[in-house]
Structure 1
Amino acid sequence: MGRYEQQRNFLKSNFLEFKHVKTDKIKGLPQPPAVKPYSSSSVIVDLPEFSGDIAGQATVYDCIKSRRSTRFYAQESLRLEELSYLLWASQGITGATKGGLMLRTVPCSGATHTFETYLFITRVEGIPQGVYRYLPVEHKLLFLFELDEIDQKIDAITLEQPFVPNFAKKAAVLFAWSTTPYRSEWKYDISAHKKILIDIGHVSQNLYLASESIGAGACAIGIYDQNLIDDVLGLDGEEEFVLFLSAVGKKRE
C-alpha cells in the first residue's frame, strides 16, 4: 500500500489546498502563449474542408457502441479530408469567449489547452511521409521533417506492446500529443497536473469516436519511450514533452 499512496493521493481533489495558493495568474504574470509559434518560412500544408457528410450514416450511438481499440489496419491510406476531420474533432477550434478564450471540440479545464498535436504520417493521400504538427488556429499542417525509416522509428518509440506487438508502425498515422504544463500551471498551480491528464482523455475519446465514424480505428498508447520521442520531436522534456499517443488507420476487413 505504501508504494501506491503518493500516486493515489494525486488522483484526489486538492481544492482545499489550492484555494489558498496565489497562482501566477493572480500575481499578474503574463499568460503563456495559447499555441506554439512557428517560423513564417515553414512549409504549410492546407487541410481540405469537410462537412458532416464525412461521417456517412454513423450516429453517435453507433460510434459509442462499436468503438474498440483497433490494432489491425488495412493497407488503405487515409484521405487528407479524413485526416482534416480527425484533427478538427480532437483539437479543432469552434469559437471563442468574449474574454478571448479559445473554444475547441473537446472540453478543457479553464480553456487552458496545454496540448500540441504531432503526427507521424505514413499513409495519407496527397502528402509525403514525415513528421508534422497541427496548427489549430489556421487548421493547417506544419511540415517538420522527413524521418528516415519512419516505421522502424515508430516501432522503437512504442516499445513492446503487450497485446499486438509492433502494431503502431502499421497504422496510417501516429498521433502524439505533447503538453506544455505551464499553460495550465499559470492558472491552476498545484491542481494543473491532474487536470491535464483528465483533459487528454477527452482528446483521445474524441479521436476514437471520430475515427469510428469514418470506418477507421484508433488505439491509445500509453507505453512509449519518453526520451526517444521527445528527442525525435525536438522537445526539451521539461517545458514540453509527449504525454499520450494514438495510432489510427483504416480497419482491416
Structure 2
Amino acid sequence: MPQTNVDEVLAKIARFEQFGDNDSHVVFEKKSLQREIQNDIKKLKEVSISDGYMTDMIFNGIQKNEAKCRSYYELAKQQGAYSRQLDWNFALSLGYLGYESEASDIFLDLVDRDLGEPEIYRGASTHFSDMGYFDKAVQVLEKGLKLKDCLITERLIVCEKLANFVDQLNIPKNELNRYMSTVQEFQQKKGLYFKDRRYDFFDDGHETIACIEINTGKSIDDVNRLNDELFDLLASKDFTADIALNFVTMFR
C-alpha cells in the first residue's frame, strides 16, 4: 500500500480551502474531501508524527479551530518538526484564523533568520500583501534584493507585485522612484550575467509566460518576442519606475 505523502495532503488541504465558508452547493464534495484529508492525516502520523501534526495544524487553521491549531503546533515542535517549515505553516494558519499581526511577526522573524532561500523573501512578501501589510511586503522585497543575487525573474516578480502595491497604496511617484532605484542600484553593483537568456527565463519564469499566452491570446511567437524585449528592458541601466509599471501593464 503506498504511503501518504505530506505534499499530497497539503495539496488536498489547499483544495479544501478554495471551497470557502459559504459554498452550500458543494457541501457533499467538501465533506467528502474533509473526511479524505482527516484519513490521510491519520496515515501520515503513522509515517511521521511531526508532519502529521503540522498538516493537522494547517487544516484546523483553515477550519477556524484555534485551540487545536495552536495545540498541534506545540506538539509538532515537541516531535522535532523542521522549525522553519513549521513556523512558516503556523504563520499561514494564524492568517486563516485572523491573527494577521501575530502571523506578520513570525514572517518577519523568518526573514531575519534567512537560511539562504530566495523563496523566503518572495513568499513573505506575498503573504504580507495578502494580509494587507503592503509596506512590509515592499520592505521584505527590498531586503531580499539587497541580500540575494538579483536574478532577472526576481526583478520581474518585484515589478508585478509593485504594481499591485501602487494600486492599493497610492504610492507617490517620488516614493515609487526611490523604491525602484534600490532595485537599479543593486543591479548595477552586482551586474547581470546570463549564459542563455531564453533558457534562464523559461527555467524560472515559465508560469508567467503561460499567463501571458492565456490572458492575452498572443501566439507563442509573440510571447517569445515579448520575452526578448523583456530581457533587454530588465537588464537596461535605464530601468525606472515608469518603465516597470509600463512593463507590468503588458501582462494585464
TM-score, normalisation: structure 2: 0.25
Largest Rg, 1 or 2: 2
TM-score, normalisation: structure 1: 0.25
Structure 1 or 2: more strand by fraction: 1
Greater length-normalized contact order (CA 8 Å, ≥ 6 residues apart): 1
Structure 1 or 2: more helix by fraction: 2
